[in-house]
Amino acid sequence: MKTRTIVCLLVLLFGVNQANGLVQFKDGLVHVIDYTINDDVWVDYQAPGMQTTVNLFTGGEIIFAEQSVLKGFNDSRLNISGGHVDYLFAYDNSHVTISNGGANYLRLYDNSHMIMSGGSIWGMTAGGNSQVVILGGNIGHGLALKNNANVIINGSDFAIDGSPVGFGEITSVFGGDIYDEPPRMLTYTPTTSEFGMCQFGIGETASINLVPEPGTIVLLVTGLIAGGFLLRRK
């Protein structure tokens, strides 16, 4: 059974053309974007070990034609606390935080991490051992997971397709390719907002963990911080 919504989401995520205008940050410093950039933005591309930070603040927009892209590579830091970008991609153990503002599409790969406490994204694909923690905010439409990705959602009143579910792990229905997964709808009450809802698909060994207590998330976030998930200034 093909999942049209998830297929469309993946096509949109993987079909971005990045052949034109480009701005790069790869100096190990902290850069604030509270203005409009009319190009794609790449952070630490082919620059391992720099840990450059880009902060997108209120008033900041990354606009290139109709599909703007903010890409992080090589352990870079991308922090969204306002403003907007169409596509936000993180690779190579990069780190993302979203507390306000947001992106239309988010892609995480290669052991990258994200903590979302506010703001919004329309859809997300995660794979390659990436990890996502959702404390709040809104995922407007689709969540596609594969290749051992893990998403941890903090909240209560969880239900899948209208049927209440307990806390714990959600895995793939068939254990194969995500394109063969049936669409499922998750609804819940987030810790920091009134209502959460997103359609999701889980392929292969990916998983979603539903957790009840903020303390559980605090321990996880503390572990991520200890592992280097910090806003670094040089």
User: What's 35-87 look like in SS3?
Assistant: CEECCEEEECCCCCCCCCEEEECCCCEECCCCCCEEEECCCCEEEEEEEEEEE
193 vs 64, residue with greater confidence: 64
Whether residue 4 is contained in a domain is answered as no
Q: Is residue 190 part of a domain?
A: yes
The reply to whether 135 falls in a domain is yes
147: left (phi over 0), alpha (psi -120 to 50) or beta: left
Count of structural domains, the chain: 1
Q: 1 lies in a domain?
A: no
Task: Give the C-alpha separation, 69 to 219, whole Å.
Answer: 32
Exposed e or buried b for every residue in 11-29, given b needs 16+ CB within 10 A? ebbeebeeeeeebbbbebe
Q: Say if 233 falls within a structural domain.
A: no
For residue 213, the model assigns a pLDDT of 60
- Residue 3 falls inside a structural domain: no
Residue 33 lies in a domain: yes
For residue 5, the model assigns a pLDDT of 40
Across 6-15, 38-47, 199-208, least confident range:
6-15
For the chain, what is the largest distance between any 2 Cα atoms, rounded to a whole number of angstroms? 51
pLDDT digits (tens, 9 = 90+) for 160-189: 999 999 999 999 999 999 999 999 999 998
Q: How do residues 33-90 score in pLDDT, each as one tens digit?
A: 999 999 999 999 999 999 999 999 999 999 876 678 999 999 999 999 999 999 999 9
Domain that holds residue 30: 13-226
Q: What is the dihedral of CA 193, 199, 203, 208, to 10 degrees?
A: 20
Is 205 part of a structural domain of the chain?
A: yes
